[in-house]
Every structure is written in structure tokens, then in C-alpha cells.
Structure 1
């Protein structure tokens, strides 16, 4: 090839690549830590963020590696039901032994709060604690540790919550109308002060370590078209902003037979 033509071709390629990079939004397909400068800016600018402030006082990391669904449910349940005068949430007396309690004041005083814990929230209906740990069940002779979206829905129902469960279909994501509808469902739920969202997704499309996971969704930032995931695995993952298209792909990943998705939880009034 003529040296002049080669130099011209290379120059044009460099120019074209530069134009493409400049046209791509800086936030595309990137996870943004919630406490980074960009993450803080998004939260400040977001108009849909009520759930972030409602959930934060009740946030707790999952107590073990298979309790992401349990921890997410405990956070949401406490957000919906705990108040100063709450007495109808059962006390979890497992966290302080009888021997330790003998040093407390006598009488009716109790060291326990009326709030859900990751132990007490498992009602015994639906998937049991031992089955979450991987023990075989009548419906699954091989055992399956953790929870599926249907298991979380059953747990919410056993706690007398109203639920709306959505499975995100991977084969429909190319349909823009479908994707917009699913995204709007999430935004509408986050915009409703009486509803809270727990997402079930695979970490792999987010380029995170691990696979299936549950966590509450906390906010939406329109300018970057991103959602804030309040990750309950906070020992090795921070809370992150995720672009909506990437989140849809993560929720569409198959968990055994069905896709993943999300559940909208509210009181059954």
C-alpha cells in the first residue's frame, strides 16, 4: 500500500474511533458506587429516591452467603411495619440466651425489640431455613440452597404482604415496548411511598463476582437512566447505580427453569 494512503487510512480510523468514544455516554455499562462523587451526584439529582431514605434506617447486611433474599425481606418488612409503638411483630429471643438474660432487670422489661430479624422472619411456611441451606425438599429432591423469586413471593405472602411478581423475559428484551414497560413498572413502584422493590438478578451481566442474588432497589436517576441497588452483600460489594438496560439483562438470566425478575411488596390493606 502506498505510504501516503496508509497514513491517511490510519488517521481516518483514529478519528472515527475518537468520534465513537466521544458519542458514547460516560456512564454506559458501568457500575457507579453510590458514595463516589458521581454516585452522590445522582442521588442528589434523582427525583425518585423516597425508598433510599425509607430503607436505610433498617438496612442490614445478609448474615451468611445464602441469606440475600432473607435479609432483603427483613429490611423491607421492617421498613413497612416498624414504628415506635409496634408490638405485633414477634420478638426474636434467640439472640440473647436465657443465661445472659438473668442479669437484666426483673419484671416485664424485655431486652428485645419488636422488629424482624433474619432468623425470625422465616415463618416456617414455604421454603424453610434448612431448605434454604440446601436440604432436599418434597418439591426438590436434590436440594437447592438460597431462594428463587417464587420462594421470596411465598415468604412475603406468609407475612401477609401484598405482592406483585414480575419475571423478566430475556427473549422479549429486544422489544423496546416490553423493556420500557418493565422499567416503568419499577419506576412506578419506587415512586409509590407504600411500595418497595426487591430485585432478583444475576451478578454476571454486571461483571460482579458471584451469580444469583437478591437486594432492595432504592432509587432511579433519569439523566443516566440508572437504578440504585442497595446490595445486601455489603461485606464485598458496595451499593451501586446500574444502567437500566444492564439491570434488565441481569434480571432476565435463568434461575433453573424460570427467569429472574423482581417483586413489589406492600401492605395488604
Structure 2
């Protein structure tokens, strides 16, 4: 048994039973025989110790995400696509989490932001018996895992609020196995399920809300394959407010008569930093992975993205946007969406984004200089469907070589007025703007006074008129937008229900 001190605390027993003790082993064997340890194996294969005292929520989440084999869409270190606490920074800055911890609602928000399916419940929203059924369901399967938010004092342990995944259930004794991510403090241990409920049924003084549990599972398809929303840039709060609050009011206040008028109103007052809010999804590589060859996995993702891009460009809304951007003379709109940059400027911008991702930074403000940009076509299945954008990023005294693999059709620019019959000459911004307008909540357009125009707009943005793959992409973006809105209003802990889609 561990002795008290800096190495590890003595586990108070009772009420807990050490997983490695004789009684703990007996409970494990009986639970395995009963079929309620199915989720344990993948969790233990990805068991993670929190790297900071306040990172229990992040460690629990990254452990579960890796157990579910959810693709983070970017690399952790070297060539490895792997979730780590340092990558879970989209709902709360890591420095703030390190200093203050993270709330139950924001952990649920984080899980959804990175693409997991999440059902989150505060104890006030469910019952003990329902919780027991959820535990049995997750522990009898390896495609769903349960993360609990509880107060340690109920177990006579030191500390306050804590997160950890549940690794198994023993029906005979009605006990659950807590895979404590603070392994430096306590080992995995069994506790009575009723006592865990009591520990969850406590109030987090920071939020004023009760703690609870969340069920995390893998989605049917990896979301956000073409675009993703970012809240790393400081402008995201004003962008979310503009999209969710200002645009509906502007449409209601103006007497618009056609689609061009709708687009003009939407683009007229865009907040600064808008382009950083919605970003391409790209393969990020460091200098050590500079080979031009494309793996089969990358080819598969490129093929899906190419098909998604084609579906975006086949929508009626895209055609209206192309015509509008090619005819507008607004000096503010064209630079943002008209695709007037030099290709090497795009390479520099995208590679700065890549350096930010690889470095785990919260903004690109530290990217002082980007030089030696290089653009190469890459063959995939005999077709030049991808481009490798490379650059040397200079940040102070440090230099980093970054490569990003993106669709060729995403970075080819128009040499004048767009040709709607030729994908390679369509402006980059038309694709982004189409995806952005499609993801806005349906109620955005309800303020349009002209009934005929309202009917036309609703038809253009209707989910029913989109192919299934594009529907999933749009719904994911819309869910991200709802989550960011709740973060902006500090309501993620007040309303844990999944965003309406």
C-alpha cells in the first residue's frame, strides 16, 4: 500500500477499494464475467495521467477520445494524430484551465467541439436509477464511455471537484470503477455507485450548478472534414455575436428585395478578423514529415473533401454568391472573399496557421514573419488534386518549417471574373461564404419581409435540398456555432442540452 507523502496519498478505504487489491481484483473478475467491463480495455489502453493539477477534465476527455479512436484532424507530435491535453483549448484557454480548472459544461462543450457525440446530465436533470442504467450501458460496450464530475470529499479523499472516466461496473455490489486520472495521487478504485451519485450531486461554487456525468461516443462519420470554426483568435466573440444576433436584426430592419440585397447586408458589416473564424481543414506537417508522398489515409480524406467541395459548389446558393462577388465593387468585400491574393501570400497565411497548430499556440500573433514559401502540386491517384504549401515561420529567434496539404481547388485563384463553369477559376471566398451561410440557424432569415424572397432564401439554405454528406458538414458547423454562442454568453453550464440543429 502507498504511504502518505509526496509520492501518493493513502486511498481512504472504505469507502473505496483499490483496484489492485485482492478485493479489487475479485470485483474486476466478476464484472468481466458479467460483461460489464467491455469499455475498460480501450480506456486502460489509453489511460492518461493529468499533466497539471487542474487538468483532470482535459486528461479524462483526451483519454476517452483516444479510446474511441476519434481523429483529431491534426497532428500531436511528429507524424502522430493523437489527442493530448494541449490540443483541447477551443472552449477555454489552457492557461486559464491550468490556473482555475474547467467547468463540467465546458468539458462537454470541448468534447462536442472536437467531434464527439455527447449526452451531458447534471444530477438535477436525471435520477439515480437512470444514472445506473447509463453506467450499465456504457460499461457493457466499448463504443461509449462515461466521464463523471464529482467532489472528492464524499469519498474522504483530499481535494475538491474532479473528473475521471468510469471503467467498469460490478452489479452484485453496485460498485463502479473510477479510473482516476490523477494517478500520482490515487490509484484506480471501486466505489459504491450510490456514493458516486452523492459526490456528483454537489454544487460547483464557480458556476453555481450541480455536477454530473456525460456519455461520450464516436460519431458515425468524422465531422468538420472541409471547414471548422475557431475560437482561438480574439475576434471570435464579435464574429459569433454578429452572426447570431446582428444579422437577423439587420435583415429585419432592412427592406431587401432580392438575394443580392441579402448578401450585401450580410457582408457590409463583417467584424475584423472574420477570415480567421472559419478555416480550411488541412493536413499539418512539421519539417520531419516533409516528404511529398501521400498516405492512403490522406488520399481518402482528400477524396472526401474534394467531393464535399463539389457539393458546396453545386448548390444554388453558391451560384448566387459567385455572381455577387464577381459583380460587387465594394472594396471591403472583395479582399475578404474575392480571392485577390497572391498564391504565396495564401501559402504564408496557411502555414502560419499550421505553425500555430503544431506549436499549440492560442493565436497567430506571435507569427512575426513567414518566408521561403513554396507551392507544389501533389499527385493522388494520378490526379493533381492536392497542393503542398510550405514555408519557414520565424517567431523571434526561433524558426520552424511547416507544410500543409490542402485541396488544389481550394487555393486556385480567379484571374478576373469567376467562370461558374470552371471550378479552378472560382474564388476561394465563394466556397467559404456558402458554407458559412448554410450553417446559420434557420431562424436567421425569418425577418425578411418580402414573402417571395423569404421563400427563395429558405429554399436555398434548406437542409432538405443538400446531399447527405454536405448536410453532416453543415450540421457540424452549426453545432460548433451554437456551442461558441453558449461559451460567449457563459451559458454552457446552465444549459447542457445538445444544440438544436
TM-score by length of 2: 0.39
CA–CA distance in structure 2, aligned partners of residues 204 and 259 of structure 1? 15
Provide the rounded CA distance (Å) in 1 between the counterparts of 2:76 and 2:219: 24
State whether structure 2 residue 178 is matched by structure 1 residue 259. no
Residue 50 of structure 2 aligns to a residue whose secondary structure is coil
* RMSD, aligned α-carbons: 1.9
Say yes or no: does 1:184 pair with 2:133.
yes
Q: 2:106 aligns with which of 110, 132, 151?
A: 151
CA shift, 1:29, in A, is 5.6
The answer on whether the counterparts of 2:165 and 2:178 sit within 8 Å (CA) in structure 1 is yes
Find the aligned partners of 1:189 and 1:41 in 2 and give their Cα distance.
21
Greater relative CO (CA pairs within 8 A, separation 6+): 1
- Report if aligned partners of 1:132, 1:147 keep a CA contact under 8 Å in 2: yes
CA distance in 1, matches of 2:119, 2:66: 19
Alpha-carbon distance between aligned partners in 1 of 2:166 and 2:211, rounded to the nearest angstrom = 15
Pair 1:38 & 2:23 matched:
yes
Which SS does the other structure have where 1:56 is aligned?
helix
Partner of 1:227: 176
**1:132-171 correspondence runs (5 A):** 132-134=97-99, 145-169=100-124
Alignment partner of 1:78 is 2:78: no
Contact persistence 2:52–2:98 (CA under 8 A):
no
Whether contact under 8 Å (2:40, 2:139) holds in the other structure is no
1:130 aligns with 2:85: no
| 2: CA distance, partners of 1:29 / 1:226 | 12
Q: Quote the Cα distance in structure 2 between the aligned partners of 1:248 and 1:29.
A: 16
Aligned to 2:80: 113
Corresponding residue number in structure 2 for 1:90: 74
Cα distance, 1:89 vs structure 2: 4.0
Structure 2: how far apart are the matches of 1:92 and 1:182? 34
Which has more helix, going by share of residues?
A: 2
Render the CA deviation track for 1:49-98: whole Å, top value 9, x for unaligned: 0111111111110001000001011101111116xxx7x642124xxxxx
Q: Distance in 2 between matches of 1:190 and 1:149?
A: 21
Larger Rg over CA atoms: 2
Q: Is the 8 A contact 2:201 2:210 kept in 1?
A: yes
Residue 180 to residue 133, structure 1, CA distance change in 2 (3 Å): same
Partners of 1:230 and 1:89 lie apart in 2 by: 27
Separation (CA, whole Å) in 1 of partners of 2:93 and 2:117: 20
Taking structure 1 as the reference length, what is the TM-score of the superposition? Answer: 0.71
In the alignment, the residues of structure 2 paired with residue 113 and residue 58 of structure 1 have an alpha-carbon distance, to the nearest angstrom, of 15
* Residue ranges of structure 2 left out of the alignment (5+ in a row): 1-12, 221-501
Cα distance between partner residues in 2 of 1:200 and 1:255: 10
Question: Shift in Å at residue 185 of structure 1?
Answer: 1.8
Stretches of structure 1 that go unaligned for 5 or more consecutive residues are: 1-27, 94-110, 135-144, 173-177
CA distance in 2, matches of 1:182, 1:115: 30
2:323 equivalent in structure 1: none
Which of 54, 60, 83 pairs up with 1:66? 54
- Among 193, 218, 222, which residue is 1:244 paired with? 193
CA-to-aligned-CA distance 1:138-157 (integer Å, 9 cap, x gap): xxxxxxx1111101011001
Taking the aligned partners of 1:224 and 1:29, their CA distance within structure 2 comes to: 14
Matches within 5 A, 1:1-40: 30-40=15-25
Name the structure 2 match of 1:201: 150
Cα shift readout 1:1-54 (whole Å, capped 9, x = no counterpart): xxxxxxxxxxxxxxxxxxxxxxxxxxx962100000000010100020011111
Tell me the matched-pair count: 203
**Preserved CA contact (<8 Å) 1:90 1:116:** no
